[in-house]
A and B are shown apart, each in its own frame.
Chain A
Amino acid sequence: MHYLTIQNNQSVPVSEIPEISYNAFLVLNTGMMVENSGRHCANYFGYPEAGAIKLICCIADDEDHLIHLSSCVADTNMELASFTAKLPCFEKFEREIHENFGIHYTDHPWLKPVRFAYNRADSDKGIADYPFYSIDSEELHEVGVGPIHAGVIEPGHFRFICNGEQILHLEIQLGYQHRGIEKLFLEKDQLNQLSTLAENIAGDTTAGHTTAFVHAWESLCGFKTTRDIDFVRTLALELERIAVHTGDLSAVCTDIAYQLGSSVFGRLRTPIVNFMQEWCGNRLSKGLIRPGQNKFPFTQALANRLSEVLDIFETDFIEMNKELFDLPSALSRFERTGVVSTLDATSIGVVGMAARTCGMPRDIRMSHPHSLYPELNHEPVVKHHGDVYSRVQIRKHEVQQSILHIRNLISNLPDVHERVEMGKPRAGLFAISLVEGWRGEICHCAVTGQQGELIHYKIKDPSFHNWLALALAVRNNEISDFPVCNKSFNLSYCGHDL
């Protein structure tokens, strides 16, 4: 056995992760994924250790609910064979390792920097002079969009190669939002600062990223959560899912110029986020989730209020969905637009909601359940066409499913426990935490040093995998359908850029 098998939210001494030669490391990890399609790479990263780079690869097995860890030590001036040549889903992980540490891969197809971090290995290359994939043709033309977005949301540069109105190729350049958040995790020493950082990894996934962080932290500290703490986190995750999915439905309607849907779904999001405000004083659930404590216990009064809010919400939500899915002009925009084939989705390692629209039942709530998910017996909603229609429909179904889960949860409120001291993170540990945010699988990995201080913190937002799916989805589509494809994925810029 050249790998170590653990479960979600478990921490193990770093020294126990088997360290093998790079070739064995490559064969082991690619082999594990090839032999079983139920496995995917949850995280693959490196960190400097004693003048060399330690690479750790985490392969999650969705059927056995296990995570396989293996590691390897590489030198910065080594030339290595890439994982990507065998499995495209490692593409961005290797680009990131190349960017941060200068490790060169001999057979990586497109070894461009990911986000131009300020502490990148080769600071000669700038984001402005990055060479894009280009064409030399009289017939085709290039369209560059961004980095300033038309709706002044987050920045990202999209370079299209088009044949008239048809998109042949899209290259997405991100990194404009890079804040060095992983580095900040190592620099800040107060727990509150760390929690606040985690909340701001991606503003729309506050509950998701904060839950991932607190799980990793509690695991490092050896803290056992009580039921009321788990309850709050599960509830916050599901409420966040309802709020964001509803907001996305509104945004998709805006992009196809369907005013009724746009305004009704927009209005429906409000009572949900306002409920969060009533509960914890913040509409985006900032400040709600903290390691080792339950700051805002969920009372019976809140439960009654929530069930009232959901009753009103659900009636209107179902009615508006009926209108939307009965509208021929809307369906003609959704159906067969932006298709990601199951084959593509599997090979590039798409996660979360986007994966579930391509026929893959990939859902951490089922495969690596945490908090109260084991008792909710979550069954993922799976769609098969991989088009905008599937991605719109899955939002409708997941919102209804979340409402069911919430009704289940609040019918049996947990007792509030006394706060127990949590202690400090233990020395020399590796912790991994997987959480299903509304967008998909969030993975946080933490490594502690000799004094129990963090020596590496690795964050992976689902957008990290899924941006490539968007680039593939728009191929052969009309360029005017790009906005609705983009919105149907609704990926995070800052979650990717960190």
Chain B
Amino acid sequence: MLSVVLIIIAAIFFTGIIIRTKSLASGRKGPGILQPVHDVIRLFRKGVVYSETTSFIFQLAPSVYFASIIMAMLVVPFGRSGGVLGFNGDFIFFAYVLALGKFFSIIAAMDTGSSFEGMGASREALYSMFAEPAFFILMGSLALLSGHTSFQEIFAALHIGSQISYALAALATFVLLMISMIENSRMPVDDPKTHLELTMIHEVMILDNSGFDLGLILTGGYLKFAIYGALIVNLFIGVIPYEYAIPAFFGIQFLMAVTIGLIESFMARFRMSHNPQFIVALTSVSLLIFFGVLLILQKFM
């Protein structure tokens, strides 16, 4: 239960911190940290406009998308306290419940019949497909290392003791950070700020959504960031007491938001055709973790 509360608190500030970092980096004052929250509150008060060419799928999708993120949030543990749900193989549930939400947002984009949204949907589907092996190899390696198959048991059993495990934690952080950038359609894969439909990925898929639905999608995005942040936190806190773990949680979330803000300020987006290469390269980093785990377990005889 604790993890859900912490994730929601982190989600409130996360996107605001990214935007603020980018503003400061470009020499502007920028909007307040809570501006994204004000934006969704405003959207929640608005009605929804549906295109006449869309079917019930389009109306259903934002709710399914949002619900899938809430479901995924429930299995994320926090140190000693487990998630609301926790069972063997819950990390597989985590990945595929998020995929379900994404599937609905993809078919909703196709439902509008717009050529832009179709392009966005095909890009999103491709990148998610490439990102999937990286996540599973990473979690699989950690499961192998700890001998458990649920998030809470895996993270509780991770003891950062040897130098190799430090290296593994660093690599795992990198992979999770990058997966969260891809899943949230941030730089360097996607440019959330652009106004050009032809270069968008995620933004173009939600062009037709408005009002309450758009609010749900945006809120889902904020939560997703905090969820991935929580996974990274879990790599480090193990079973340390709450008085250290909770500040560490917010500290790491804050650092992650600032890092994303800095990446987005000081580099250009990848060429679209380089994105698959980049994402597949993540899988090879995951493989490195896998071999590290095999080394620790002394499977190489």
Contacts and interface: CB of A to CB of B under 8 A. Distances in A.
A172 B101 CA distance: 38
Contacts of B268: 253, 256-258, 327, 329-330, 332-333
A141 B114 CA distance: 12
A259 B25 contact: yes
Interface string A302-332: 0000000000000000000000000101101
Contact of B198 (A256, A327, A332, A482): A482
Interface string A247-285: 000000111111110111001000000000000000000
A405 to B, nearest CB: 30
Nearest to B191: A257
B278 to A, nearest CB: 11
Give the contact-size bracket for chain B: 20 to 34
A70 B194 CA distance: 49
A150 interface: yes
Interface in B1-36: 22, 25-28
A146 B216 CA distance: 29
Contacts of A479: 119, 198
A483 B198 contact: yes
Contact of B26 (A144, A259, A327): A259
Given A144-B115, A145-B198, A483-B196, A257 B269 contact: yes
Contact of B25 (A143, A257, A260, A481): A260
B120 to A, nearest CB: 10
B251 to A, nearest CB: 25
Interface in B161-214: 187-188, 191, 193-199
B45 interface: no
A143 B272 contact: no
Contacts of B196: 150-151, 255, 483
B273 A478 contact: yes
Contact of B116 (A143, A263, A329): A143
A156 B278 CA distance: 35
Interface string B106-119: 00000000011011
A327 B270 CA distance: 12
A465 B193 CA distance: 32
B286 to A, nearest CB: 23
Contacts of A481: 199, 271-272
B265 interface: yes
Nearest to A261: B268
B300 interface: no
A253 B193 CA distance: 12
Contacts of B273: 165, 478
Contact of A332 (B116, B119, B264, B271): B271
A122 interface: no
A249 to B, nearest CB: 13
B269 to A, nearest CB: 4
Interface in A116-161: 141-145, 150-151
A335 to B, nearest CB: 10
A140 to B, nearest CB: 12
Nearest to B26: A263
Contacts of B188: 329
A190 interface: no
A337 B115 CA distance: 23
B267 interface: yes
Given A145-B198, A480-B198, A483-B196, A260 B271 contact: no
Interface in B118-153: 118-119, 122
A240 B283 CA distance: 50
Contacts of A143: 115-116, 119, 198
Contacts of A257: 187, 191, 193-194, 264, 268-269
B260 to A, nearest CB: 13
A260 B265 contact: yes
B115 to A, nearest CB: 4
16 contacts: A143-B115, A151-B195, A165-B273, A257-B191, A257-B268, A259-B25, A259-B266, A260-B26, A267-B27, A330-B267, A332-B271, A479-B119, A480-B198, A481-B272, A483-B194, A483-B199
Interface of A: 141-145, 150-151, 164-165, 253-260, 262-264, 267, 327, 329-330, 332-333, 337, 478-483
Closest 3 CB pairs of A and B: A257-B191, A263-B26, A257-B269
